[in-house]
Structure 1
Amino acid sequence: MSVPDLAPLLEQSGLVDAYTPLPERYDEMRTAEGEVRPHWQYVLDALRTLGPSGIEARWREATRMVRDNGVTYNLNAEPRGMSRPWELDLLPLLIRSEEWAELERGLMQRADLLNQVLLDLYGPRKLIRSGLLPAELFDASAEFLLPCHGVEVAGHRPLVQYAADLTRTSDGHWRIIGDRTQSPLGFGYALENRVVLSRVLPSMFRDSHVHRLAGFFRSIRRTLTRLAPRRAEHSRVVVLTPGPESEAYFEHAYLANYLGFTLVQGGDLSVRDGALWLRTLGRLERIDAVLRRVDDGWCDPLELREDSFLGVPGLVQAVRAGNLVVANALGSGILEHPALPAFLPSLCRELLGEELQIPDIPTWWCGDPASLAQVLDRLDELVVKPLNKRHGQRCLVPDTMDAPARAVLLQAIREHPDSYIAQERVNPSTAPALIGRHLEPRPSVLRTFLTAEEDGYAVMPGGLGRVTPTSDTALNSNQLGGLAKDVWVVASEPERQESLLVTTEMHTPAVTQESEVSSRVADNLFWIGRYAERAEGLVRLLRITIFKLSERSDYAASTGDSCCLRSLLEALTNQTQSFPGFIGTGAAERLRNPVPEMLSLISDPARLGGLPQTLQALGQAAYSVRDRLSADTWRIVSDIEAHLGNLTHEPPGQLSLALDELDPLITSLVAFSALTQENMTHNEGWHFLEIGRRLERAASTASLLRSMLVPIAGEPDENMVIEAVLGVTDSLITYRRRYRAGTRIGALLDLVFQDEGNPRALAYQLMQLERLVSELPRGDMAVGRTAVEKHVLKGLTGIRLAEIDSLVQPDKAGARRAALAAMLAELDRQSAAISDAITAQYFRHEEQPHSLLRRAAARGAS
């Protein structure tokens, strides 16, 4: 969405004077006579009052909120990268309350009808035996899951959540153009749209008397809790996601957070004794209900798709045994069969004794001879859809085909009529969108959402609107881009505001058990701590090195009077493991001109161990557990990603320019550490994040001391080395206040090596690790110290027993501090051993080793 500059329009007699609806389409804002519909008038007057500067300011605020909240949708074919920000139009889609009431009745009828069809298809199959549904069409569908036939569903509502895509045809009547019954996408995005617009347009939102959404989400939580096999106060609900590579992972995490459920992946779960369990660090936790965001065929590799890595072996059996509820029920995908709309009018009369209140786009299944005759007679007026879709062959338009292609299609339909459906063409209604300098009419689609209740279905009072990227785009898909719209159901009177917070009506205790931590979550939190600390330490080292370089008349670090600078550059290579760098082959040349190598570490996203890859790894680990991070913390993550984009998209050509980006980056990294310290509950998950941070700081500090202090420098280089180390460890002020007799190596080691009260000292890191690991769950391990505790104790004891005077002594050649080198090498070994022991003891063994850029291969079909 580009910045809307509405000055030319606002200077005219009215905001909509230049707005011209598309021909032969119903327009949501203007009538066929050109008049503004009454329920739109207030919003347009409010925009006119805001003026161009006010509209632009609110657009920028909405864009900032979307970015800061990390609202993304993953596009597999997106050239800018897989994940891109959600694009939200500042102008909502308005629907009158009276009209919405009619829509609600029709949507509830349709949900009830589809629910009964689903119960029959996986139960008595009366519809097939009576001939109302053709057996060959539905039984042959890949979406019909035979292992789920006969499985009883708690509450007799297998269709717990349902979404319907609607549009108006040119006559102004609503039509259903798609049913979403697998794991309907959009609940969370609709809620986030509402959050953003209600904050950037507060007066407009309040005075429009918009129906609120909180009550609907209360119904979702109440329903899932009620359906659980065990009593409500003991029930446990999880949201099952394919993982961070899923196109709508943001929504999965957002819903889990908003509803108070645990976000899990298939690998976090296990079926034992006919029940589903969450594998946490210290024990197994019983799961009662699953809100799945994985397509049903992928949910159980034991009985469904054997090639799935997204589900849980034995999940179908847990449901069959009555120990688990899955929403939506496994097998719900059959209701998305493209041919089903052709039969719904007769099914509605048979099952409900009513006419379908909201009809579909007229649909014909060519397997029916009478329907086939109509299709062949009107072929050029219809669109044809193959039931066995090939890639890119979703919809065929016969009158746009050349003669040979049309002939091939006709032959295919005649030879395999049961493999095709045909539908009337539809011209979706248009809605106004802020595009560039204009209000433009764009084809629009409304996705509505329903959730089951005890006596029927509840409809979200609003939904997710979409307008197409261009006025002539035929399809409206998230994968094809376009703008999202908040949907406002406007009333004449204000509605009572509701909260999602638990009340007594929900039959849950005042205090509930906090969500447990799976090994996957603990693993990611551990690496978040490591990557955050690694990035912060690297930025500090880069800044000090740039400062030292700027103090010299030339950049060469290979001359005899540049021991400090050379040590800093070698520390960069050691800390980033970006060999050969300033140490291996070609180091002499790089030391003579260190700028290109440093700029590469700062801005080259392909450089292993460099700053961009470390920041990217931090973002990926955080994204994997975004349901565990607060909104404030996630805004800092977004800031860090923005700094990463600045460094890589427009790489600085000079170190001074790089410094302009490193300074605010260090502030964001420190803010991230502070927020995780102060805003996260200090539970098991936080312990692993903090362990990762302390372990990484210990390793990086040991690496720094080895590069800077083991080689012996003469005066005045040694004083410069001490000052550089103090700068990198942020201990310069403490040193100056504590040690007034000048700069000495012994005093430096006392402060940054052995001082247990200095948060930057090695001893402090090991002391904190000792406390943190002692508080981790032990499970069924034997009494006594664990392997992790033993390695921590060994490292901490070594530091405490070390004699500073011995560590600073030079070797016989007078060139190195051998004792210090040996001590730091031993601490390196203990740090690696601690990391390995934590991995072996707490993290899943079948997972691959964590790398700087670990990316899951699995992608779920949402």
Structure 2
Amino acid sequence: MTSPPVTSVVPSPSGVWAAYHPRAEVFDEMRAADGTVRPHWLPLVQGLERLGREGVRERAESALQLLREHGVTYNVHADGESAERRWELDVLPQIIDAAEWAQLEAGLIQRTKLLNLVLADIYGPQQLLQEGLLPPALLHANPGFLRCCHGIRPPGGLFLSLHAVDLTRAPNGRWWVLSDRTQAPSGVGYALENRAILSRVLPEEFRAAQVQRLASFFRQRKAGLRALAPWTSAPNIVLLTPGTYAETYFEHAYLARFLGYQLVEGSDLTVRDQCVFLKTLEGLQRVDVIIRRVDDTWCDPLELRGDSLLGVPGLVEAARAGNVAISNALGTGAVETTALLAFLPALSRHLLNEELRIPNVATWWCGQQSERDFALGALNKLVTKRAFVGGHGEPSFGGRLGARELEDLAAHIRANPHAYVTQESVALSTAPVWHGNAPEPRPLIMRCYICATVDGFTVMPGALTRVSPSAESPIVSSRYGGGSKDTWVRSSAPTGSAAAVESTAPALRPEVSASHVPSRVVENLFWLGRYAERLEDTTRLLRTALGRLAGEGGPTEEVELTALARWLARTEILDARFADEFTPAELASELRELVFERNRFGTVRELLGRVGFLANNVRDRLSGDTWRILNQLQTDFPATMSRATPGAILHTLHRLIFQLAAFSGMEMENMTRGHAWRFLDIGRRLERAINLVSNVRAVLAADTDGTALAPLLEYTDSTMTYRRRYLARPEMPTTLALLINDVSNPRSLVFQLEILGHHLAALPGADGTRPEQIHFEDLMALLRETDAQDFATQGVLGRARLATRLDEFYEATGQLSDLLTASYFSHVPARVS
């Protein structure tokens, strides 16, 4: 496969590309050795030249802002810790010529067919071993080969329904295969997000380049997944994720929402009678196809790793019985080993009667004596890698090692030769990356994707191109700080308007989608509602106090602040010492800590973390706008304000209230009224009732003269309602009537309970006899017997009776939460619906 042609056009010596000087000894994707631009790059080069450096910089900043708004992350795990890292997207795409791409497509499809045949053999008759085309040690020393899967033939005999291939160019411009990803290939979702963002920030350049769209690939991917389950015309398809701590969890949630599939964890599934079922509120629902993003050995703790909490007990047996299709099939990690590259040319000739269209980088597996001897004699010129999936450590570049390091490496190889491969050290091709205010060349690897269709295989007309973190680094890895590029495959004909960009799901034939919601999902939504409300409640309380600290400090504010401090001490938000005497500076310091301290339970920052965690767990259930609001809660909150004045903190809390109100509005106006929304709102209403009762009873106990009533009305956002209704200063009877018994006040206790009653009546199995419904009716009967205004007019005795009644409400609402948990979040019914 020869390199693309070049043109005589040379970029302006004073323009955007003036400082771009790739190394002469490597292949550069954009510029030839003589400085001319390859023709398929011309529309972009000329377009960016017209924009100028400042214009390109602005587009790069726009792309960065979109990544932040969309919450695109890559989770990094190191030394037992996990951290979210923002996804890096370069504003300059990788561009491939149409004719060259056609050659790549043929080679990639050939490779996928070949690996499917290899998998069918090693998990079937194993003739390749018998005929000496594969050494037995290569298979049996490979932890990716799952012995318990031998003899399992997936539906249609298709082992790989999605295959990823990492490509690079040699200095002569020829493409080479570096590795295959066959277990649970990652990156296709990031590639889709890259396209959505870059086509938005460079719309004119995107149109001018006549870029092939990605939508058809995903249409064919969905059709191929449906065909994996021939026993039904409307298969139930789920995407199995390890959970929020997975490196590529963003992609899991993104693809589930884009494709319209349920995102599930291992605990959401159960195997009954050799079939897989999804645990939902309504009961067990049959699952036909699982798109797994869990590595092979973690998928079934019964027959694979016994310590796995990520898999589904009995999944291997269900696959063996042919009752579930898994994409990709269990055991496909066996051909992900780099060692197999050394044998693929001969296997291609044997199984396909064809030469490999895209050659591998020269590879020597050290499990064979002659190859090991060669590798040991040339370690200083080769790249040494772990042979099998799961091997630890990055590649060792022999040319960068000292004599002692080479000796240590040779010793490791001699001690465990089967675990190592060596490869030719290939200088990766480079492409321009926007760095600072100018482009610079960076090494790249292009990951291409091949998926099974109804009648064969197709290649995504694009790729996830990854670039190294610096021009000098030979390691291209997202884990070690590398960036990414959108990949534009040019078409020989116009491809339609840029409005067809793949930022929304492709149009597909209508399907019956499952309305059943997994119990884990509704539990997370329930607690998201509770913690979002708890965050708002805490923010409103602290804002009420800070407003008086940041005010003019008149006698009224000082008296209210004292009463407010006694009230907050009663609820244990403030330390008990604030119930007595304190200075404004002491209170300001304590309130600052209650806002910003990360490691203290119940602070604003700590609650923000809980909301973020729960939102991440149900990300696939949230609309793009809703997610952006919740993501903004995290990104806009200041990292630290150790010296902030009460006024500055107050401004931060005002903004937080606005953002929480936006989330509440999106929830109420845009979320489909199903069980998912219902449990989110149940959590919110229950938490609001609990918090209201807690604070009203604290005011009753701590405030004897009504001084805290104005702060109480402010905290409950009921000040204007009270003023319009009573045209007088707050009094205890009328204030309590407004907050406890007023059905028109959206902050009152009765308002919350009436909405809860409607929700409970609409839950699955609700017939009036369920424990939570019986308990709720008792709670409503208690409320109907409680006339807060009447109690408050009876003096000290009446206030004491009301306080006792509020204690009963507080305990009963907590019990209602426990009953809901027992009924809907912990059950695994023994029936099939």
Q: Give the TM bin, normalised by the shorter chain.
A: over 0.9
In the alignment, the residues of structure 2 paired with residue 23 and residue 554 of structure 1 have an alpha-carbon distance, to the nearest angstrom, of 75
In the alignment, the residues of structure 2 paired with residue 304 and residue 152 of structure 1 have an alpha-carbon distance, to the nearest angstrom, of 18
Amino acid at match of 2:198: L
The answer to whether residue 785 in structure 2 is matched with residue 801 in structure 1 is yes
Paired residue for 1:120? 121
Shift of 1:795: 2.4
The answer to whether residue 611 in structure 2 is matched with residue 618 in structure 1 is yes
Q: Is the 8 A contact 1:530 1:696 kept in 2?
A: yes
Q: Is the 8 A contact 1:746 1:804 kept in 2?
A: yes
Paired residue for 1:315? 315
Paired residue secondary structure (1:75):
strand
1:207–1:587 Cα change, 3 Å: farther
Amino acid at match of 2:593: S
Paired residue for 2:598? 605
Amino acid at match of 2:646: L
Paired residue for 1:745? 732
Q: Is the 8 A contact 2:215 2:506 kept in 1?
A: no
1:194–1:502 Cα change, 3 Å: closer
Shift of 1:308: 0.5
Paired residue for 1:766? 753
Q: Could you give the per-residue CA deviations for residues 225-249 of structure 1, whole angstroms, max 9, x where no partner exists?
A: 111143222x100000000011111
Q: Is the 8 A contact 2:141 2:418 kept in 1?
A: no
Shift of 1:91: 0.7
**What does residue range 222-237 of structure 1 map to in structure 2 within 5 Å?**
222-233=223-234, 235-237=235-237
Paired residue for 2:40? 39
Q: Is the 8 A contact 2:566 2:580 kept in 1?
A: no
Paired residue for 1:676? 667
The answer to whether residue 596 in structure 2 is matched with residue 566 in structure 1 is no
Amino acid at match of 2:206: F
Q: Is the 8 A contact 1:112 1:456 kept in 2?
A: no
Q: List gaps (5 residues or longer) in structure 1.
A: 1-8, 847-862
Paired residue for 1:853? none
In the alignment, the residues of structure 1 paired with residue 188 and residue 745 of structure 2 have an alpha-carbon distance, to the nearest angstrom, of 48
The answer to whether residue 296 in structure 2 is matched with residue 296 in structure 1 is yes
Aligned residues: 815
Shift of 1:802: 1.4
The answer to whether residue 358 in structure 2 is matched with residue 361 in structure 1 is no
In the alignment, the residues of structure 2 paired with residue 775 and residue 438 of structure 1 have an alpha-carbon distance, to the nearest angstrom, of 59
The answer to whether residue 708 in structure 2 is matched with residue 708 in structure 1 is no
Paired residue for 2:160? 159
Paired residue for 2:5? none
Q: Is the 8 A contact 1:160 1:452 kept in 2?
A: yes
Paired residue secondary structure (1:76):
strand
Q: Is the 8 A contact 1:582 1:588 kept in 2?
A: no
Paired residue for 1:330? 330
Q: Could you give the per-residue CA deviations for residues 32-76 of structure 1, whole angstroms, max 9, x where no partner exists?
A: 111111221221221122234432332222112111111111012
Paired residue secondary structure (2:204):
helix
Q: Could you give the per-residue CA deviations for residues 379-401 of structure 1, whole angstroms, max 9, x where no partner exists?
A: 33212234379975433344544
1:397–1:13 Cα change, 3 Å: closer
Paired residue for 1:734? 721
Q: Is the 8 A contact 2:28 2:431 kept in 1?
A: yes
Paired residue for 1:722? 709
Q: List gaps (5 residues or longer) in structure 2.
A: 1-9, 829-833
The answer to whether residue 240 in structure 2 is matched with residue 240 in structure 1 is yes
Paired residue for 2:7? none
Paired residue for 1:279? 279
Aligned-residue Cα RMSD (Å) equals 2.5
Shift of 1:466: 1.0
Shift of 1:419: 3.7
1:390–1:229 Cα change, 3 Å: closer
Paired residue secondary structure (1:163):
strand
Q: Is the 8 A contact 1:590 1:597 kept in 2?
A: no
In the alignment, the residues of structure 1 paired with residue 335 and residue 654 of structure 2 have an alpha-carbon distance, to the nearest angstrom, of 55
In the alignment, the residues of structure 1 paired with residue 87 and residue 394 of structure 2 have an alpha-carbon distance, to the nearest angstrom, of 25
Amino acid at match of 1:34: G
Paired residue secondary structure (1:232):
coil
In the alignment, the residues of structure 1 paired with residue 272 and residue 353 of structure 2 have an alpha-carbon distance, to the nearest angstrom, of 44
Paired residue secondary structure (1:84):
strand
Q: Is the 8 A contact 1:582 1:591 kept in 2?
A: no
Paired residue secondary structure (2:741):
coil
Shift of 1:445: 0.8
Q: Could you give the per-residue CA deviations for residues 614-671 of structure 1, whole angstroms, max 9, x where no partner exists?
A: 1110010000010000000001011111233x1x334452111111211111110000
Shift of 1:587: 6.2
Paired residue for 1:631? 624
In the alignment, the residues of structure 1 paired with residue 443 and residue 132 of structure 2 have an alpha-carbon distance, to the nearest angstrom, of 38
Paired residue for 2:267? 267
Amino acid at match of 2:597: D
Paired residue for 2:831? none
Paired residue for 1:529? 529
Q: Is the 8 A contact 1:563 1:713 kept in 2?
A: no
Paired residue secondary structure (1:593):
helix
Q: Is the 8 A contact 1:367 1:418 kept in 2?
A: yes
1:82–1:260 Cα change, 3 Å: same
Shift of 1:160: 0.7
Paired residue for 2:257? 257
1:572–1:171 Cα change, 3 Å: farther
Amino acid at match of 1:521: V
Amino acid at match of 1:151: I
1:220–1:515 Cα change, 3 Å: farther
Paired residue secondary structure (1:542):
helix
TM-score of the two chains, using structure 1 as the length reference: 0.90
Paired residue for 1:549? 549
1:113–1:586 Cα change, 3 Å: same
Paired residue secondary structure (1:817):
helix
Amino acid at match of 2:337: H
In the alignment, the residues of structure 2 paired with residue 709 and residue 772 of structure 1 have an alpha-carbon distance, to the nearest angstrom, of 31
The answer to whether residue 450 in structure 2 is matched with residue 447 in structure 1 is no
In the alignment, the residues of structure 2 paired with residue 592 and residue 27 of structure 1 have an alpha-carbon distance, to the nearest angstrom, of 62
Amino acid at match of 2:604: L
Q: Is the 8 A contact 2:144 2:389 kept in 1?
A: no
In the alignment, the residues of structure 1 paired with residue 143 and residue 698 of structure 2 have an alpha-carbon distance, to the nearest angstrom, of 62
Amino acid at match of 1:757: S
Paired residue for 1:852? none
Paired residue for 1:494? 494
Which of 796, 820, 828 matches 1:838?
Answer: 820
Amino acid at match of 1:226: A
